[in-house]
Amino acid sequence: MRFVTLLSAIAVSSSSWTMMSAAFSSLQTPFVRKASSLSMSASDDSSTITIGIFGGGTVGGGIVGILDKKSDYIKQLTGGKNVKIKSICVRDSKKKRDFDIPEGCTVTTDYDDILNDSSIDVVVEVMGGTTDAKDIIYSAIKKGKAVVTANKALIAAYLPEIQEKLDEMGDDAPEFRYEAAVCGGIPIIRSLQQDFPGDDISMISGIINGCTNYMLTGMDQKGMSYDEVLDEASKLGYAEADPTLDVGGFDARSKLRILMRLAFGVDVDEEDIACDGITDLTKIDFEYAKMMGGTIKLIGVAKTTTDAENVAAFVSPCYVTNSDPLATVNGATNAVEIISSNLQSSTYIGQGAGRYPTANSCINDIVTLASGQKTKQPFNPESKSKKFVQDYDSVFYIRISYRDGLGITRNLGEVCEKFGVSIHSILQNPITSKDDAGFVVITEKVPLSNIKKTCAELEECDWCNGEVFYMPVLREDWVSN
């Protein structure tokens, strides 16, 4: 097994913001710090790479700071290239920043100050959102400016359209780089672009949302309830005021959609990917998980079907054994495991969000561009054979609450038999209250569609008390582990 571990300095949750309109912004006067005699414009010679940044917040400030600190090293690494920030576009140019504006850099609120500046070679988009950011990126591509972005939501929603815009430029298509869009500081995008051309990936799975992993770690190790750990995550800045994107699994789904294209060449509307968050998990589920010798993680999974012809994907809480590589990834840390024919198992672990982890990935893209490296297929070639399917086979964990009565086990067996669900085992903790009476069924490997039908019919039984909860078991060989 191959491990790539990244240690980053700070994990700070960054929030996206919406830019003011150019009509309003043009009324504000940008300010410019006096240029240093060491800075060079792009028009002087080819030894300077000039960039314009959209977004002066958490990540934008990190980019500025790293470029300032590492400028000499970057120059050596790129064969003498100077990387110069010429302009930063922000929502409010008068707002005090928590980083120093580079000398000679203009702070503006007008998009066109960057987009229409022919001396700017690279547009860095770290403003977030999918409206103005999309217009900025499309305009930059049309003008032949290379793009570096951390915008996972935009790429997940418009990936085919972005590829189309690049294709329209033909041989003049600029570079499109997006390492920071998935898992912050983990170099998973570049690895999928460069490290697996001679390999065949069969599965990619990952803990790709730091907020929910922090919460599940608290529920597992501290015995906290969902509400208690969400409150703690909010106070620490891991959870947004509205945590739906995180706890509902939607943030992870956007990242998984991008990883699917890179790993399998499959394009899919992210709305079609099955997505279950962590809101229905309880402390009882972690008690059963410990009884089984494991824990629970919110995992994004994409894998080839049994015949290897198609690809299925889902985001869901999953039971994992304690020996699993993902079981010990705790706190706000992210991890991605790739299963492939040649490399077998490759696991990437590191900080998935925050100022410096995310900015570091943006810097890597900028340095790659300054070094003259190019890729004609930023999303890897599209598969001509594999298709996305919504059904997949797995072992499943099913939790059922019940009202006391006769024939419950018999009725359970009949319903499972009806839909072809074979029961591996039934678990039950001591009952301390009739209101909390419940048990767990572990199935053999079975299609998700069969599980859905089984759970729906069980909910119609008189003895069933409320909705039936189910989640996949990540590995088929979970017992032997």
The set of catalytic residues is 255
Neighbour-count burial of 202, counting CB atoms closer than 10 A to its CB (0-12 exposed, 13-18 middle, 19+ buried): middle
Query: Residue length, the chain?
Result: 481
**Structure-token match 């529920």, residue found:** 219
Cα–Cα dist 218/231, whole Å: 11
Neighbour-count burial of 44, counting CB atoms closer than 10 A to its CB (0-12 exposed, 13-18 middle, 19+ buried): exposed
For helices 152-168 and 250-264, angle between their N-to-C axes, nearest 10 degrees: 40
Closest residue by Cα to residue 217 from 59, 93, 344, 331:
331
User: Looking at the DSSP assignment, which residues form a beta bridge with residue 388?
Assistant: 311
| Residue 101 CB contacts under 8 Å (≥ 6 apart), including other chains | 33, 64, 88, 107
| Residue 240 CB contacts under 8 Å (≥ 6 apart), including other chains | 13, 15, 246
